[in-house]
Structure 1
Amino acid sequence: MRHDGTFDPLLKAIAGAVLAIAVAKVVWQWLSTTFWRWLSVDIWGWIADHPWWSALIAAPLALVPALLVARLLPPRGYVRYLDDDFDDEAPAVLTYGMHHLDTMDATEFERACAALLVRDGFTRVQHSGRAGDLGADVIAWDHLGRKVVVQCKHYGKPVGSRDVQTFNGTARPEHHADVPIMIGLNGFTRDARAFAARHDLILVNRQILRDWAQGTYLYDAIDDEADRAAA
């Protein structure tokens, strides 16, 4: 003890260690004797004597964790996002609000487009989105077995003709796309739309993207926009 009446920190540490060892020894002795005997003799003996009752008790105990996991996990290939436009009564199907897409960075936007393709049943969906991908941010195959090559532009303004021309130069020659699609978060300029029409490129503007992100099948959203333009 120090002159001020308190114990030296070293002595306190030693005393604490001795106490901890003593407690651990008592607990270990209880686990290795009384508890183990109860578990291995009493419980196991009861199970051996009552196999049917044991099975009836074990079945629901094993089922509960499986049901909890199944309830918590989303359906395979789907992701659920909650946003202002999401209906809590709706099924757990991937949707995005436009404000959500607006706040993403370019890579997140590409991944969101890939996830929407998975939602729509496209297969072998691959997200590249890196330098040197030659305009193929996402590659997938549709229900007709056609190769779909997608380039995603997360621009704050409409995509210009130069970007569309560049995509046209790689989508089919480099990636052998059957269905080349360019997605523009904020649409496309008039020149870009005119060039795409001449070269049979599909442009997904903001309206199509909104419909698609909110649950409309991609090709249906594209057809709906074509119908509106023709009206």
Structure 2
Amino acid sequence: MRDDGTFDPLLKFIAGAVLTVAAAKVFWQWLTTSFWNWLSTDVWGWIIDHPWWSALIASPIVLVPVLAVAWHFLAPRGYVHYADEAYEDEEPAFLTYPIHHLDVMHPTDFEKACAALLVRDGFARVQHSGRSGDLGADVTAWDHHGRKVVLQCKHYNKPVGSRDVQTFNGTARPEHGADVPVMIGLNGFTRDAAAFAARHDLILVDRRILTSWALGTRHYDAIDEDEHRTAA
């Protein structure tokens, strides 16, 4: 003990360590003797004697994790697929996405939703890449005329700018061999981006077209309808 009446820190540490070891020893002895005997004799004996009550008590422990896993995989979210997964074996069931559902999706799930809509519309060999280094080809597919369609999907909270469109233009045809390069902007495109796309024959799917497409209009029909509406 120090002159001021306090204990030396080293002595306090040693005392604490001794108490911790002693408490751990007592706990281990209880766990391996009394508790284990209680568990193996009393509890297990009761379970054997009352199987139906035991099953009823245990069922929530089993059912809750099972239901949680089932909800995770079976909850209705449209089509949700993983990277590099081909879509050609999917049934083209009629699928729709309200635009506010697309708004709250993760960008990767947004790409998968666009791929699923192509499947719905009867496109062939639909495949989602959606990883870094894909050089702008988030989704590839072939249309009814045998043309390769390359989609880049931008889940931005603002209009897509000209620079992104220029980058896509530099890879869609030269790198991926796109016959139909399509860029999808959840919240549209800037005026400069739209002007650049028009000069380089790129198809832009803005929010209005996307809303129509996601709610059931076929992909090309949604684009054509918007062109006619704009021309009028």
Q: Distance in 2 between matches of 1:99 and 1:216?
A: 17
Could you say which residue in structure 2 is the equivalent of 1:205? 206
SS for the counterpart of 1:210 is helix
Partner of 2:21: none
Q: What does residue 163 of structure 1 align with?
A: 164
Q: 1:126-180 deviations in whole A, cap 9, x for unaligned? A: 1011110000000000011110000000111111111000000000000000000
Structure 1 contact 185–206 (Cα < 8 Å) conserved: yes
TM-score (norm 2): 0.63
Cα displacement (A) at 1:14: 2.9
> Which residue number in structure 2 is paired with residue 64 of structure 1?
none
Judge conservation of contact 2:136–2:152 (CA < 8 Å) in 1.
yes
Is 1:101 matched with 2:128? no
Match of 2:143 in 1: 142
Structure 1 partner of 2:125: 124
Unaligned runs of 5+ residues in structure 1 are: 1-7, 25-72, 80-91
**Secondary structure at 1:139's aligned position in 2?**
strand
Q: 1:158 to 1:21 in 2, by over 3 A?
A: closer
Q: Please tell me the root mean square deviation across aligned C-alpha atoms, in Å.
A: 2.8
Deviation, structure 1 residue 101? 0.5
Matched with 2:112 is 111
Identity %, equivalent residues: 72
How high is the TM-score relative to the length of structure 1?
A: 0.64
The count of residues paired between Structure 1 and Structure 2 equals 162
How many Å separate the matches in 2 of 1:222 and 1:137?
A: 19
Q: How does 1:1-231 map to 2 (within 5 A)?
A: 10=37, 13-14=40-41, 17=44, 93-231=94-232
Q: Would the aligned equivalents of 1:78 and 1:118 in 2 still touch at CA under 8 Å?
A: no
- Please list every run of 5 or more consecutive structure 2 residues that lacks an aligned counterpart in the other structure: 1-34, 52-73, 81-92
- Kept in 1, the 8 Å contact 2:173–2:179? The answer is yes
Cα displacement (A) at 1:15: 5.6
Q: What is the SS of the residue equivalent to 1:177?
A: coil
1:153–1:183 Cα contact (<8 Å) kept = yes
State the alpha-carbon separation in 1 of the partners of residues 197 and 227 from structure 2.
14
Which whole-Å CA distance do the structure 1 matches of 2:119 and 2:39 have between them?
Answer: 62
Letter in 1 for 2:41: I
Could you report, residue by residue, the CA deviation over 1:75-107 in whole angstroms, capped at 9, with x for unpaired residues? xx978xxxxxxxxxxxx6210111101111211
Residue pair 1:78, 1:93 contacting (<8 A) in 2 also: no
Query: Partners in 2 of 1:177 and 1:101 — Cα distance?
Result: 25
